[in-house]
Chains A and B, each alone.
Chain A
Amino acid sequence: MASRREVLLGLGAGITAGCSARLPGTPPGRFALRTVAPGIYMRRGVDADATAANGNSIANIGCIVGRDAVAVVDPGGCLDDGHQLRARIREITRLPIRFVVMSHVHPDHIFGAGAFLKDEPQFIGHVRLPEALAQRGEYYQKGLDAILGKDRAGPVVVPTQLVSGGAHIDLGDRVIRLTAHPVAHSDCDLSLFDPASATLLPADLLFVERIPALDGRLTGWQSELRALKTIGARRAVPGHGPVSVEWPAGAQDLDRYLDVLLRETRIAVRKGMDISDAAGTVGQSERGLWKLFDDYHGHNVTQAFKEVEWD
């Protein structure tokens, strides 16, 4: 049942990805890369949770190609996802893969990193990523192996270059700006901005269509979104959902969700409601507006509640 659903979603993705076009010559299916801006290629993740059938190919992953080098922007959800991405990149360019950006600690974004070890790139992460990996890496790996099959998750790859505040990487006539964010969607979110194409790659700071997953600080996420809107981007590449949306207009659903979550959680706390009851009442107007709502929303409310009750 799950696999049928994923197949449907995988095929559907090609039709719904509005502003992007499938590369000529690339096969359809869940590993196809699409051009979202000149030199920026992304694979759309399926809107599902990890299963053996979808191989955890659930995040939007891809690359930016400059004159001299390639930066991978999230290496994928497992070793095979990373290998598939690398193979698609090699169909586009022979330029060296000098950078692999790991946008945050969540496994659907980074467990493909092992596929790029032979390229000897800089693995770039938020300054807090090593600690997050220390706490969760093996735990995620075991969980992923349990779903995908033994040893299919891939290695925990530790970043070789850390970003605190801001940094740049130069791909040759293409300088990408990196920002290490305060605690927001997670505690180690790294976003990219490509001024050449006015494209923002905020990874999981931006969810579209798929229910956001809060693993950091709700109010922090809102303020980082506000800051990202002033960066001068015309389009953004969400961590989940279509591979390209207009910016900042593409953030409006996420803004609304986070606002509702905060406002209604505050009301629940003020009324003295229990955390378990809040999960069933807060944000119910958002049901039906997001994929996987029932799978994540209750957890988001729990997270928000824990944050708000201390205000």
Chain B
Amino acid sequence: MGLNRGLAAWGLVLCSWIAGARAADEPPSADAEEAARTARWSELQQAIFGARVVHDGSAWLGIDAPQRALDAALVPVSLTMSGERPIQGLYLIIDNNPGPLAGHFLFGPRADPRSLKLRVRVNAYTYIHAVAETSDGELYAVARFVKAAGGCSAPAGADQQLAMQDLGHIKVRMTGPFVAGRPMEAQLMIRHPNFNGMQMDQMTHLYTPALFIRSIDVNFDGTRVLHLDSDISLSSDPVISFGFIAPGKGQLQVLVRDTQDDTFGQSFDVPAPAAPAG
């Protein structure tokens, strides 16, 4: 099954076929693999959080992702926080990616940090860790294992070429009825190829230069909803869903900055103007 399943992606951009090949080659000792993964996470914790204690957050944090990704270059990750502890930030760490720290979110006064969704590239079978930082500075982690491989070096698809043409186009969809002071969900979509510098041009053997989103700021009428420092692991055409609280009618303001220091900004009316529900 390993090979066939892995080859599902045959001929396509994704690389679960390589994942499949690796599945077949996996050493018999699952324990040794697991030990290596635990060691990797210890290293990463040390590198990112130093000596700070990282508590088990599974009682109130949730992370969901497909166990086996359909497309390693687009792995949806969904994070849920019960809301019982105030959160100031959240780290998303893809342990075995070349740049493991995929994103660091900082939440502002206009955030509803109870749910967050984004799409990432996954380069090898890996744990994905979410680490929440509470307002009192404590760290809590939760993890999910994902079987996918090759997502970082997968060649550009037709959509990435389209993203170049349409670079910086931003859309926001808001769901749920608008009630002043009540949480709403917004889905932010950004046209950006997010070239991570790992796609090789096979003719010239040069790598497509990295050009990816460095940071995203979302404010409501000038007050922070969230700030994201991102890295090479966000999928092309990033899509991020988050909660926010609008105290009244106003504007959601989005500012995106990439590695060329180009900025793309746009504002969206809240509530969204009457249009086909979306």
Query: Does B269 sit within 8 A of A, measured CB to CB?
Result: no
Q: Chain B interface: which of A24-32, A62-70, A230-238, A295-303?
A: A295-303
Q: Chain A interface: which of B26-34, B38-46, B68-76?
A: B68-76
Q: Report the separation of the CA atoms of residues A299 and B8 in the bound assembly, to the nearest whole angstrom.
A: 9
Residues of A within 8 A of B66 (CB): 276
> Judging by beta carbons under 8 Å apart, are B8 and A156 in contact?
no
Within 8 A of B (CB), among A290-311: 292, 294-296, 298-299, 301-303, 306-307, 309-310
Q: How far is the CB of A210 from chain B (nearest CB, A)?
A: 11
> Judging by beta carbons under 8 Å apart, are B202 and A137 in contact?
yes
> Judging by beta carbons under 8 Å apart, are A295 and B71 in contact?
no
Q: How far is the CB of A128 from chain B (nearest CB, A)?
A: 9
Within 8 A of A (CB), among B122-177: 153-159, 161, 171, 173, 175
Closest residue of A by beta carbon distance from B174: A272
Closest residue of B by beta carbon distance from A184: B158
Q: Report the separation of the CA atoms of residues A138 and B173 in the bound assembly, to the nearest whole angstrom.
A: 39
A51-B3, A108-B10 known; A136 vs B155 contact (CB < 8 Å)? yes
Query: Does B112 sit within 8 A of A, measured CB to CB?
Result: no
Query: Does A37 sit within 8 A of B, measured CB to CB?
Result: no
Residues of A within 8 A of B65 (CB): 276
Query: Does A134 sit within 8 A of B, measured CB to CB?
Result: yes
Q: How far is the CB of A286 from chain B (nearest CB, A)?
A: 16
Query: Does B201 sit within 8 A of A, measured CB to CB?
Result: yes
Q: How far is the CB of B69 from chain A (nearest CB, A)?
A: 9
A119-160 CB contact bits vs B (8 Å, 1 = yes)?
A: 000000000001001111111100100110000000010100
Interface centre among A50, A135, A292 (most CB of B within 10 A): A135
Majority SS at the chain A contact face: helix
Q: Chain A interface: which of B15-23, B51-59, B96-104?
A: B15-23
> Judging by beta carbons under 8 Å apart, are B202 and A139 in contact?
yes
User: How many pairs of A and B residues are in contact by the CB < 8 Å rule?
Assistant: 124
> Judging by beta carbons under 8 Å apart, are B12 and A215 in contact?
yes
Query: Does A244 sit within 8 A of B, measured CB to CB?
Result: no
Q: Report the separation of the CA atoms of residues A306 and B13 in the bound assembly, to the nearest whole angstrom.
A: 14
Interface centre among A139, A156, A186, A294 (most CB of B within 10 A): A139
Residues of A within 8 A of B8 (CB): 49, 292, 294-296, 299
Which bracket fits the contact residues of B? 35 or more
Q: Report the separation of the CA atoms of residues A308 and B262 in the bound assembly, to the nearest whole angstrom.
A: 27
Which bracket fits the contact residues of A? 35 or more
A99-123 CB contact bits vs B (8 Å, 1 = yes)?
A: 0000000111000000000000000
Query: Does A171 sit within 8 A of B, measured CB to CB?
Result: no
Residues of B within 8 A of A80 (CB): none
Query: Does B224 sit within 8 A of A, measured CB to CB?
Result: no
Q: Report the separation of the CA atoms of residues A303 and B158 in the bound assembly, to the nearest whole angstrom.
A: 10
Query: Does B260 sit within 8 A of A, measured CB to CB?
Result: no
A135-B202, A156-B202 known; A299 vs B70 contact (CB < 8 Å)? yes
A197-222 CB contact bits vs B (8 Å, 1 = yes)?
A: 00000000000000001011100000
Query: Does A162 sit within 8 A of B, measured CB to CB?
Result: no
Query: Does A97 sit within 8 A of B, measured CB to CB?
Result: no
Q: Report the separation of the CA atoms of residues A140 and B156 in the bound assembly, to the nearest whole angstrom.
A: 13
A residues touching B (Cβ–Cβ < 8 Å)?
2, 48-51, 58, 106-108, 130, 133-140, 143, 146-147, 156, 158, 183, 186-187, 213, 215-217, 269-270, 272, 274-276, 279, 292, 294-296, 298-299, 301-303, 306-307, 309-310
User: Could you name 18 residue pairs across A and B whose Cβ atoms are closer than 8 Å?
Assistant: A49-B17, A106-B11, A107-B10, A108-B10, A108-B11, A133-B202, A134-B204, A135-B156, A213-B10, A215-B13, A216-B158, A274-B76, A275-B74, A275-B76, A296-B8, A299-B9, A306-B74, A306-B159
Beyond contacts A270-B276, A310-B191: 5 other A-B pairs, Cβ-Cβ < 8 A, are A134-B203, A138-B200, A183-B158, A186-B158, A215-B13
